[in-house]
């Protein structure tokens, strides 16, 4: 089994932990998250972007991870970027906790997402169903207020306790 983790933070109050687990190269990857600081009762897009570069904030992460050259779509679509994870829903306090399985996201093999950036977007992803060119590349998900590089993890990381992030200095993230 291979595990990955992204501690997300940025120029907003959105913080949290996203864990990834894959048993073997042919298995789906389980993605679980616990995020805080979002807008209340909202749907927000989240994607895996091509680069693990956050030198200029989340904008340095580049486009969605798309090794097969496909159009943007939703996580259940056959036509989509590997990095297209869709939307997560927030509760009345702006928090989100969830789990999903994904057959395209890999931690093992040539298309591994380890070392790439997970980005939380400020808007709702239209899943490539919009009527403009931007829909087919970004899902019109908007700005990138929070992100984190997906690193190799030994164990699942405090996904149930994002408040523990407050004790970590930026050098530990």
Strands 146-149 and 117-120: antiparallel
Strands (E), 1-106: 2-10, 15-22, 29-36, 43-49, 55-58, 84-89, 96-102
**Which residue among 81, 116, 125, 126 is the active-site one?**
81
Average pLDDT, the chain: 92
Out of 34, 72, 80, 116, which one is annotated catalytic? 72
Query: Which two tokens mark 98?
Result: 């969830």
In a domain, 166, yes or no: no
Q: Which of 49, 70, 80, 116 is catalytic?
A: 49
Structural domain for 125, as ranges: 2-159
Q: Is 34 a catalytic residue?
A: no
Confidence grade of residue 158 (pLDDT, cut at 50, 70, 90): low
User: Is-catalytic flag, 81?
Assistant: yes
DSSP 3-state of 163: helix
Q: What is the pLDDT of residue 167?
A: 42
Residue 56 burial (10 A CB sphere; 0-12, 13-18, 19+): exposed
Between 11 and 138, whose confidence is greater? Answer: 138
Would you state the pLDDT for residue 157? 65
CATH code of the domain containing 149: 2.60.40.200
| 116 labelled catalytic | no
What's the rounded Cα separation, in Å, for the pair 25 and 67?
A: 16
Marked catalytic residue, from 3, 34, 44, 64: 64
For the cut 80, the answer to whether the pLDDT of residue 160 exceeds it is no
Task: Give the start-end residues of each E strand in 50-150.
Answer: 55-58, 84-89, 96-102, 117-120, 146-149
Q: How high is the pLDDT of residue 155?
A: 75
Q: What percent of the chain has pLDDT over 90?
A: 88
What is the average per-residue pLDDT within 87-106? Answer: 98
Catalytic residue among 44, 121, 125, 126: 121
To the query of whether residue 144 is one of the catalytic residues in this protein, the response is: yes
In a domain, 60, yes or no: yes
| Predicted confidence (pLDDT) per residue in 123-136, tens digit | 999 999 999 999 99
Nearest-angstrom CA–CA distance, 46 and 127: 11
How far apart are alpha carbons 93 and 47 in whole angstroms?
22
Active site residue 121: yes
Count of domains forming the chain: 1
Residues 44-48 have a mean pLDDT of 98
For residue 68, being part of any structural domain is answered with: yes
Q: Quick check: is 171 in a domain?
A: no
The pLDDT score that the predictor gives to residue 162 is: 46
Beta bridge mates, 84: 47
Using DSSP bridges, classify how beta strands 15-22 and 29-36 pair: parallel, antiparallel or unpaired.
antiparallel
């Amino acid at each position: 089994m291979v595990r990955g983790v992204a501690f997300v933070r940025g120029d907003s109050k959105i913080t949290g932990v996203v864990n990834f687990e894959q048993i073997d190269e042919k298995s789906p990857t389980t993605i679980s998250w616990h995020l805080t600081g979002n807008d209340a009762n909202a749907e927000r897009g989240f994607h895996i972007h091509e680069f693990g570069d956050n030198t200029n904030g989340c904008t340095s992460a580049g486009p969605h991870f798309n090794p097969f050259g496909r159009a943007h779509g939703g996580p259940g679509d056959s036509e989509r970027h590997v990095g297209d994870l869709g939307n997560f829903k927030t509760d009345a306090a702006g928090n989100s906790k969830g789990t999903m399985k994904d057959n395209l996201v890999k931690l093992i093999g040539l298309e591994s997402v380890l070392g790439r950036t997970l980005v939380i977007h400020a808007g709702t992803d239209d899943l490539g169903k919009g009527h403009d060119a931007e829909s087919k590349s970004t899902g019109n998900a908007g700005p990138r207020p929070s992100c984190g590089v997906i690193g190799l993890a030994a164990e699942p990381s405090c996904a149930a306790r994002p408040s523990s992030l407050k004790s970590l200095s930026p050098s530990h993230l």
